[in-house]
Amino acid sequence: MAIRAIRGYRTVSKNAACVLAGSISWDIEAESLAEIFWLCQEEREVGRILSIVQIRRWRRAARDRDFDLWLGRLNESLVSVELLNAMRPVLREWVDRDSGALSYRLTQVLTGHGCFGQYLCDMARREQNTACHHCSDDRDTAQHTLFVCPAWSSQRAALQATIGPDITLPAIVRAMLDSQHYWRAVEAFAEVVMSSKEEAERRREAEALDPQRRPRRRPRARHGRDIPP
Ligand SMILES: [Zn+2]
C-alpha cells in the first residue's frame, strides 16, 4: 500500500516506503488506538463523562509515542540507511506536510531503486554490470546521478541555482519541505534526468532484441587493408 502511494518499485523497503508515504507503521498506530479505546472504556465504566479535550490530549500523547517508537525502529534499519538518515530529522514535518506529492521518477531518485546501473545489475538483474551508460564511471547510483555524472551537469546546475549548492539527500529533503518551489525544482530534475535514462534503457533493450538495430562494427582488415563498406 505504502509502495503504491509513493509510486515506488516493489523492491523499496517497508521502512523507506512508509516514511516516504508519511504513514506510521500500522502496528504502532493500532496499538495506540487500542490504548485510547481502553482508556475511554475505563472512564465510562466508573461513570465519568469524558471531555473531547481529554480525548484529544490522549491522542496527542499517543501520537508523540508513536513517532518515538517509529524513530527507534528506523534507527535499527539495516536497509535504505541513506534515505532514512535524511528523513529522520524531518520525519514529523514530512508526515504532517499538507502539500507535495511524490512522482514515480522523484521516488526513484530518493530511493535509488530505479533506472540506475547498480539497481539494474544487483537487484533487477537486467544489466551485466553496475556501470553508468552516460559516462565512464563503473557505478551508477542515485548519488552518482545527482552529484557526479557529467551527462546531467546542466540539470544539476539548474537545481543548484534554485535550492542552493548542497544537493546531498538530507539537503534535498530539507529543501523540498521548505517550499513548493524547491519541491518542484527537485521534481523537475528527477523528471528530466530519469526520463532520459529510461529512454536510453529502452533503446539498449530494443538493440539487444533486434540485431539490425545494434551499432555496426567496423569491418576487419584483410591482408593489412581495410575493406570498403
Ligand atoms: Zn554517469
Cell digits of residue 198: 529510461
Distance between Cα 38 and ligand 1 center (Å): 56
Distance between Cα 57 and ligand 1 center (Å): 52
Give a yes or no: residue 218 inside a domain.
Answer: no
In this structure, are 77 and 107 located in the same domain? no
- Angle, CA 73 vertex, CA 70 and CA 79 arms, to 5°: 125
In this structure, are 209 and 120 located in the same domain? yes
Distance between Cα 208 and ligand 1 center (Å): 21
Distance between Cα 122 and ligand 1 center (Å): 17
Q: Which of 137, 89, 94 is nearest to 116 (CA)?
A: 137
Give a yes or no: residue 135 inside a domain.
Answer: yes
Distance between Cα 214 and ligand 1 center (Å): 22
In this structure, are 101 and 208 located in the same domain? yes
Question: What is the reported pLDDT for 229?
Answer: 37
In this structure, are 21 and 105 located in the same domain? no
Give a yes or no: residue 228 inside a domain.
Answer: no
In this structure, are 129 and 202 located in the same domain? yes
In this structure, are 18 and 101 located in the same domain? no
What is the average per-residue pLDDT within 7-14?
Answer: 84
Give a yes or no: residue 159 inside a domain.
Answer: yes
pTM of the model: 0.82
**Using an 8 Å Cβ cutoff, are 13 and 118 in contact?**
no
Separation between Cα atoms, residue 220 and residue 223, nearest integer Å: 10
In the predicted structure, residue 173 carries a pLDDT above the cut 70: yes
In the predicted structure, residue 225 carries a pLDDT above the cut 90: no
In this structure, are 124 and 42 located in the same domain? no
- Work out the percent of the chain whose per-residue pLDDT is above 70: 91
Local confidence band at 212 (pLDDT 50, 70, 90 cut-offs): low
Separation between Cα atoms, residue 13 and residue 107, nearest integer Å: 13
Separation between Cα atoms, residue 15 and residue 20, nearest integer Å: 9
Give a yes or no: residue 224 inside a domain.
Answer: no
Range of the domain at 56: 2-83
Distance between Cα 225 and ligand 1 center (Å): 37
Number of domains in the chain: 2
In this structure, are 164 and 190 located in the same domain? yes
3-state SS track over the chain: CHHHHCCCCCCCCHHHHHHHHCCCCHHHHHHHHHHHHHHHHHHHHCCCCCCHHHHHHHHHHHHHHHHHHHHHHHHCCCCCHHHHHHHHHHHHHHHHCCCCCCCHHHHHHHHCCCCCHHHHHHHCCCCCCCCCCCCCCCCCCHHHHHHHCHHHHHHHHHHHHHHCCCCCHHHHHHHHHHCHHHHHHHHHHHHHHHHHHHHHHHHHHHHHHCHHHCCCCCCCCECCECCCC
In this structure, are 103 and 198 located in the same domain? yes
Local confidence band at 95 (pLDDT 50, 70, 90 cut-offs): very high
Give a yes or no: residue 89 inside a domain.
Answer: no
Distance between Cα 153 and ligand 1 center (Å): 10
Q: Which of 160, 181, 116 is nearest to 142 (CA)?
A: 116
In this structure, are 14 and 120 located in the same domain? no
Domain final position from 34, 53, 83: 83
In this structure, are 16 and 118 located in the same domain? no
What is the average per-residue pLDDT within 71-88?
Answer: 91
In the predicted structure, residue 226 carries a pLDDT above the cut 60: no
Separation between Cα atoms, residue 167 and residue 30, nearest integer Å: 37
In this structure, are 119 and 191 located in the same domain? yes
Give a yes or no: residue 92 inside a domain.
Answer: no
Give a yes or no: residue 163 inside a domain.
Answer: yes
Distance between Cα 119 and ligand 1 center (Å): 14
